[in-house]
Amino acid sequence: MGQVTENASPHPHHVVQKPRKRTTPVEVADFTMLVKVPGQPEAIKAFTDDEAEEARKYAADTGGTVVPLPLPPPDGYTTDDAGNLIPLPPPTCAGMADGPQPEPGDVTG
């Protein structure tokens, strides 16, 4: 049998954080901002509106950026009425958007 090493993780940047203690319970929908720290995915933290000052301080201390939530959908996606991520329909012509329609009576030639 082969030897198993701890460095053989298929996801070397996978990080699990334990939730911090808050004085009042919060739901995922309560988070209104993230602080992202460049090059440190493990340093991302989520904050509520009530924690905005704490978010700004954390960003300043770590060189991070406060990002408002919810994030916009990635390119090629939108959200439905329930907020679920769904792919956009493909363009009607490969690579081209629909252009303006000709006015009645226009002659092209």
- pLDDT per residue as tens digits for the range 27-44: 888 999 999 999 998 899
Is 64 part of a structural domain of the chain?
yes
Number of structural domains, the chain? 1
pLDDT tier, 1 (very low <50, low <70, confident <90, very high otherwise):
very low
45-98 pLDDT, tens digit per residue, is 999 999 999 999 999 999 999 999 988 899 999 999 888 899 998 877 655 555
Domain that holds residue 47: 30-87
pLDDT of residue 67: 96
Is 60 part of a structural domain of the chain?
yes
Is the whole-model pTM more than 0.85?
A: no
Is 13 part of a structural domain of the chain?
no
Q: Which of 38, 79, 30, 34 is nearest to 62 (CA)?
A: 38
- Written as six digits, the tokens of 68 are 């408002």
